[in-house]
Amino acid sequence: MSQAHKLYEGKAKILYSTDNPEILLSHFKDDATAFNAQKRGQISGKGEINCAIASRLFQLLEAEGIPTHFIERTAPNQMLVKRVKILALEVVVRNIAAGSLCQQTGLPVGKVLPNPLVEFYLKNDELGDPLLTRDRLLLLELATPEQLNQLQEQALRINQILTAFFGRCDITLVDFKLEFGITSTQELILADEISPDTCRLWNQSETDPNRRIMDKDRFRRDLGNVEDAYQQVLERVNAHCSSSEQNS
Ligand code: TMP
Ligand code: ASP
């Protein structure tokens, strides 16, 4: 491969060019941020762990017919991905009340929602990633009405697949954030990553509200044992992906 150029450095990943203009290299960093980068730190080994988890989950979703940007994992903390134009919005799916939903509505943490909730946030740290209404999203031309329907549909389908998979890992998928992009052929596909950085994951074998947390809330809230929790998620994901491969 000829000299790769750094195209973009985000909070958790760096994107490099490759020989093929349609393919980028995504490098996962150990850097961790929270509260729109007001809190910064490092989670040792996170780049490799998140790259491994995201690779497994993208493969699982692809096998279920969800188009993603994932091509292949080429190093412990690197994957090749399709080049897309990322939509400037974050799609959040919630199964159980936590985080900003509780802060903004007063719902108690842990309340099981009657139906999964799909929300759209503006991807803009300076503005604090505000929650968008459908009309504001269309006003800002962040997506077309057709893309918005597709996003909603894909997000709910991804939620079904991931909830069932994490359930087999003895993990409750509380909520998660997705990002989507448009390919050069105008296809809307899942991009970015799915990992303990972007999901709330609760250990079903633990009832203690702090001890059960296996995701970035351990870092956000200084709960300790962040690396152990991420590693535990990886081990369970690996164990259950291998068993589903053997069974297929
Ligand atoms: P929230 O409760 O803070 O709105 O977060 C909802 C979910 O989205 C949670 O799983 C964490 C994830 N998330 C991100 O991945 N990136 C973000 O910038 C934010 C705010 C949330
Ligand atoms: N990812 C966001 C940040 O870096 C927020 C978060 O995950 O809490 O600030």
Q: Quick check: CB of 175 below 6 Å from ligand 1?
A: yes
CA separation for the pair 52, 123 (Å, rounded)? 25
Ligand 1 probe mutation, 119, 177, 180, 218, most atoms within 8 A of CB: 177
- pLDDT surpasses 90 at 247: no
Q: What does the mean pLDDT of the chain come to?
A: 96
Query: Which pLDDT band, with edges at 50, 70 and 90, does 2 fall under?
Result: low
- Residue 176 sits at φ, ψ, to 5 deg, of -165, 165
User: Could you tell me which of 47, 49, 41 has the C-alpha nearest to residue 13?
Assistant: 47
pTM of the model: 0.96
CA distances from 143 to 9, 70, 184 (A): 24, 22, 16
Query: Which pLDDT band, with edges at 50, 70 and 90, does 248 fall under?
Result: very low
Q: Which CATH class is domain 85-221?
A: alpha beta
Which numbered atom of ligand 1 lies nearest the CA of 176? 10
Q: What is the pLDDT of residue 35?
A: 92
- Do 3-82 and 85-221 share a fold? no
> How confident is the model over 115-138, as a mean pLDDT?
96
Nearest CA to ligand 2 atom 5: 34
Please write the tens of the pLDDT for every residue from 184-231: 999 999 999 999 999 999 999 999 999 999 999 999 999 999 999 999
> How confident is the model over 137-155, as a mean pLDDT?
97
Kindly give the pairing relationship between strand 112-122 and strand 89-96. Answer: antiparallel
Q: Quick check: CB of 53 below 6 Å from ligand 1?
A: no
- pLDDT surpasses 80 at 1: no
Least confident of 3-12, 60-69, 154-163, 189-198: 3-12
Ligand 2 probe mutation, 9, 31, 33, most atoms within 8 A of CB: 33
3-82 topology per CATH? Phosphorylase Kinase; domain 1 (3.30.200)
* Domain ranges, ordered by start, for the chain: 3-82, 85-221
Q: What is the pLDDT of residue 241?
A: 85
Could you say which DSSP state residue 196 is in?
A: T
Q: Quick check: CB of 92 below 6 Å from ligand 1?
A: yes
